[in-house]
């Protein structure tokens, strides 16, 4: 596996592959890799001849007071994991090389409507930062396909909308959430949890599952009450919930009676960790 820090060198290498007719898959990450990331690389490996991954803690998607400085940086360990997963090329740019104009002067991409909801409401400018860096990375890597986790459901929706609206020639693939045995979605930020908080953390998924069971038996007429109950349960378990919303799976707007494609989206603070999780439901079945 080759590691490249210079964007121009990365571009040169992938262009050579393209000239040779190789199909290129891309897995962007912020590092501190876990089995969720490795599943993205494994799926990329199955779908392409060459796999490129990036590790870049993107300052543009972090707000004031968020954990940009504290975000875990474990590059040597990450490189070993990517090597073991047969990644071909790792891109680890410096901030100054990826944002030569400076972040404040950088041309940006704003995906309207969907970026302002849920996580975007709590983290203003977050999805502008995500969409912009992903577009920059796509331009450098020029992948045939790019893989993202369904755990970051809204992020995936923002990226799909960007690719559609800007006619980007890349296929976006969503990969199912990899979980610990007790159901907690693997996340780099789980490392912020104390031992006691780690025992509480799986309750987030349990509350989502209980809400799904209620929707399957009673439908969506009680949507707001179900949301309130879920928030109440999370509070009782010592989370500080950010949002718990039962939404249409595509628009991410509040689900209406009669909608079949549903997603339950939740975010909650537990100690220093902001945890997110979600569940897709198909009510037509």
Ligand X SMILES: Nc1ncnc2c1ncn2[C@@H]1O[C@H](COP(=O)(O)OP(=O)(O)OP(=O)(O)O)[C@@H](O)[C@H]1O
Binding site, by residue number, is: 30-37, 61, 149-152, 155, 178, 186-189
C-beta separation of 248 from 136 below 8 A? no
* C-beta of residue 187 within 8 angstroms of C-beta of residue 223: no
Contacting residue, 78, 144, 152, 242, with ligand BAL by CB under 6 A? 152
Binding residues for beta-alanine: 61
As a residue count, the chain comes to 285
Catalytic residue from among 37, 118, 126, 216: 37
**What phi and psi values does residue 263 have, to the nearest 5 degrees?**
-135, 135
- Tell me the H-state helices in 109-260: 118-122, 126-141, 153-165, 195-200, 203-218, 223-236
Q: Does 30 bind ligand X (CB under 6 A)?
A: yes
**Which residue(s) pair with 52 in the sheet?**
26, 89
Shorter beta-carbon distance to ligand BAL: residue 30 or 247: 30
Please give the DSSP secondary-structure letter assigned to residue 83: H
In whole angstroms, what is the distance from residue 184 CA to residue 201 CA? 7
Would you call 126 a catalytic residue per the annotation?
A: no
**Is there binding between residue 277 and ligand BAL (CB under 6 A)?**
no
Of the candidate residues 82, 130, 208, 264, the single one contacting ligand PAF (CB under 6 A): 130
Binding mask 170-199 toward ligand X (x if CB under 6 A, else -) reads: -----x-xx------xxxxx----------
Tokens of 189: 């930020």
Between 61 and 150, CB nearer to ligand PAF: 61
The binding track of 31-60 with respect to ligand PAF, each residue x by CB under 6 A or -, is ---------------------------x--
Closest CA to 121 of 243, 278, 248: 243
Among 48, 134, 249, 264, binds ligand PAF (CB under 6 A): 134
User: Hey, what are 247's tokens?
Assistant: 């939404």
Which positions are annotated as active-site residues? Answer: 37
**Residues at the interface with ligand X (CB under 6 A):** 29-30, 36-37, 39-40, 148-149, 151-152, 175, 177-178, 185-189
């Amino acid at each position: 596996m080759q590691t490249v820090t210079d964007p121009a060198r990365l571009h040169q290498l992938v262009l050579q592959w393209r000239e040779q007719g190789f199909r290129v898959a891309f897995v962007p990450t912020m590092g501190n890799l876990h089995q969720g990331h490795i599943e993205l690389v494994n799926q990329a490996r199955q779908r392409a001849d060459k796999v490129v991954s990036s590790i870049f803690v993107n300052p543009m998607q972090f707000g004031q007071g968020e954990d940009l400085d504290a975000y875990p940086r474990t590059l040597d360990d990450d490189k070993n994991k990517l090597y073991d997963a047969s990644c071909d090329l790792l891109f680890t740019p410096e901030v100054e090389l990826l944002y030569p104009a400076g972040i404040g002067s950088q041309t940006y991409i704003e995906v309207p409507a969907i970026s302002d909801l849920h996580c975007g409401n709590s983290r203003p400018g977050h999805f502008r930062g995500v969409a912009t860096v992903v577009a920059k990375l796509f331009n450098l890597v020029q992948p045939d396909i790019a893989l993202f986790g369904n755990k970051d459901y809204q992020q995936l929706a923002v990226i799909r909308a960007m690719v559609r609206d800007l006619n980007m020639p890349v296929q976006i693939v969503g990969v199912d959430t990899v979980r610990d045995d007790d159901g907690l979605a693997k996340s780099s930020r789980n490392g912020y949890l104390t031992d006691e908080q780690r025992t509480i953390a799986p309750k987030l998924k349990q509350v989502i599952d209980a809400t799904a069971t209620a929707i399957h038996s009673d439908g969506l007429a009680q949507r707001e009450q179900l949301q309130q109950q879920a928030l109440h349960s999370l509070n009782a378990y010592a989370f500080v919930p950010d949002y718990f919303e039962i939404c249409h799976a595509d628009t991410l707007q509040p689900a209406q009676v009669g909608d079949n494609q549903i997603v339950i989206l939740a975010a909650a603070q537990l100690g220093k960790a902001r945890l997110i999780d979600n569940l897709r439901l198909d009510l037509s079945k």
